[in-house]
Chains A and B, each alone.
Chain A
């Protein structure tokens, strides 16, 4: 049996398959249709310091092989999450990543400080939500903003910190480097692509918030290319070299964007992902993640890969 475990920033995952933020609630919602304990990790819904009701109007539009969402970070707030959802989430088995979102730097920092004193093993800093008017993705679009928010959150918590990047950043690799230089232990990418839809009967935008985030298989090849860019870019960045001049400091990257099958997962791992996240595919088939875990194992056995590191990044080293 191949070893599917992976350790990211000191946190051990039994396998590299993680439920993506916003697609798996707080872990318990899907408990009746799939074995949640078989997953490597579960990300919480995006959490903000104060509760958010989310966006009004239409929130979902299906597109060819894709899904546009405009949820708008509906969540009960971090104090409520810590009091009510976190304990049951931690009892599920997989590694829990608290997805920390926010508007101002103060709200991110205060949220991080609250999470810091909980048992949550890992924080995923979300600087890439395209569906809120204030903050969100704005923090992830340029190097200065991304670096400053990462540094501030890094100061507020000692928890292993993954920073989730936006594909909408014009210079994604530079943002990734800035985030790593500011103290991120790992990266996850990509969040959704900003998109737009028109209600042709009413001759106006479908979404009250006008633009919204596209996910699903439609974005997968682009997400994979961005993963490649970031894996190569971060490996050669100054900070990485400073970590270990001979080998470079290894910055784990969690890949996501339209992954639906074990074949997709293999592509991402061979492109350098230490782990992968699955979101929209779970909506289409709640068993998708379980089948990715078993399919990965069977593929590695067939190919003679004893562990994930044997195939990680082998398609970008050529």
Chain B
């Protein structure tokens, strides 16, 4: 998967951190900020600092004390020299404990883990065969898409892109969140909600036209990612003869998008979520099936080329 992102060379720690703040920002959604200085795990031991993550990486987080066995994989939303911020959706007992953490509380973590989103500039600079078939004479047209809690990793990534160089789509069931700073940076911010409480009533397909883009970055629920994968592979007219779905699907299955793609299908990079135990690439619990065989979501991903993933 080296075409998708860089294997992160950054150090990884299993350490303890202090909660700087934790506040509810939407129903069942919390913004958790932790200190990067770390906290000693035992009396007399030295605290271990938390290495700086890059966009797209995640941590395994577990509250202290905890009634659950394992950390939960949580994407980085923002980070700076002193802190790391996560958005957490209260889903089960593990995330509920994280949402209940208070300022001054503690958590155990492993990370940062995983690869990252490669920016359009990086893809071009690296002369990746994935982008060589895309239009060379104009700026790449970029869409960044977040669905629900999946907005966290892509929002952080988008804020690092050049001003007005991307459109941002955010789809929620109801109240939007995690979009601070996006509106002023994006060329266009399009919000959908299923209940119509904000933005366009409906889901992503109501507003997203993949034929308008060269590059798509997305994170969200699997049905949404499946839609993005298929929509991007089946852009009308992207394949000679207009064979549409069958032809584009075949190209994707062959993994030959760079060679056989006529140039109009956008490349889609998607960040996946799986149940995880170790976050180290050891347990093989988070396996993702791809056209190149099994990959580990935690350390080979979580960012994958959508054309290679079997969803």
Name A residues whose Cβ lies closer than 8 Å to a Cβ of B: 22-25, 29-30, 32-34, 45, 53-54, 56, 58-62, 65-67, 69, 71, 74, 216-217, 280, 282-287
Contacts of A287 in B (CB 8 A): 14, 41
Stretch in B25-33, B165-173, B206-214, B272-280 with 4+ CB within 8 Å of A:
B272-280
Contact with A along B9-33 (1 / 0, CB 8 A): 0011110000000000000000000
Docked-complex contact A29 and B281, CB < 8 angstroms: yes
15 contacting pairs across A/B (C-beta < 8 A): A22-B283, A23-B283, A29-B280, A29-B282, A30-B282, A33-B13, A33-B280, A34-B14, A60-B276, A60-B286, A62-B94, A65-B69, A69-B277, A283-B278, A287-B41
B68 close to A (CB within 8 Å): yes
The main secondary structure of chain A at its interface with chain B is loop
Contact with A along B103-125 (1 / 0, CB 8 A): 00000101000000000000000
Docked-complex contact B294 and A67, CB < 8 angstroms: no
Docked-complex contact B293 and A67, CB < 8 angstroms: no
Please count the residue pairs between chain A and chain B whose beta carbons lie under 8 angstroms apart in the complex.
88
Contacts of A66 in B (CB 8 A): 69
| A74 in contact with B294 given A30-B282, A32-B11, A62-B69 (CB within 8 Å) | yes
B284 close to A (CB within 8 Å): yes
| Assembly CA distance A56 to B310 (angstroms) | 12
B71 close to A (CB within 8 Å): yes
Contacts of B14 in A (CB 8 A): 33-34, 285-287
Docked-complex contact A282 and B278, CB < 8 angstroms: yes
| A54 in contact with B12 given A66-B69, A283-B70 (CB within 8 Å) | no
Name B residues whose Cβ lies closer than 8 Å to a Cβ of A: 11-14, 41, 62, 68-71, 94, 108, 110, 275-278, 280-287, 289, 293-294, 299
| Assembly CA distance A284 to B287 (angstroms) | 19
Most buried by A among B13, B70, B275, B294: B70
Contacts of B280 in A (CB 8 A): 25, 29-30, 32-33, 286
Contacts of A59 in B (CB 8 A): 275, 284-287
In the complex, which residue of chain B has the Cβ closest to the Cβ of A75?
B284
Contacts of A216 in B (CB 8 A): 69
Contacts of A25 in B (CB 8 A): 280-283
Docked-complex contact A280 and B69, CB < 8 angstroms: yes
In the complex, which residue of chain A has the Cβ closest to the Cβ of B111?
A33
In the complex, which residue of chain B has the Cβ closest to the Cβ of A69?
B285
Contacts of A60 in B (CB 8 A): 275-277, 283, 285-286
Docked-complex contact A217 and B110, CB < 8 angstroms: no
| Assembly CA distance A126 to B13 (angstroms) | 32
Docked-complex contact B69 and A217, CB < 8 angstroms: yes
Most buried by B among A33, A45, A56: A33
Contacts of A56 in B (CB 8 A): 289
Contacts of A69 in B (CB 8 A): 277, 283, 285
Contacts of B62 in A (CB 8 A): 284
Contacts of A283 in B (CB 8 A): 69-70, 277-278, 283
Contacts of B68 in A (CB 8 A): 62
Docked-complex contact A71 and B12, CB < 8 angstroms: no
Contacts of A30 in B (CB 8 A): 278, 280, 282
| Assembly CA distance A283 to B68 (angstroms) | 12
In the complex, which residue of chain B has the Cβ closest to the Cβ of A216?
B69
Docked-complex contact B108 and A285, CB < 8 angstroms: yes
Shortest CB distance B103–A (Å): 24
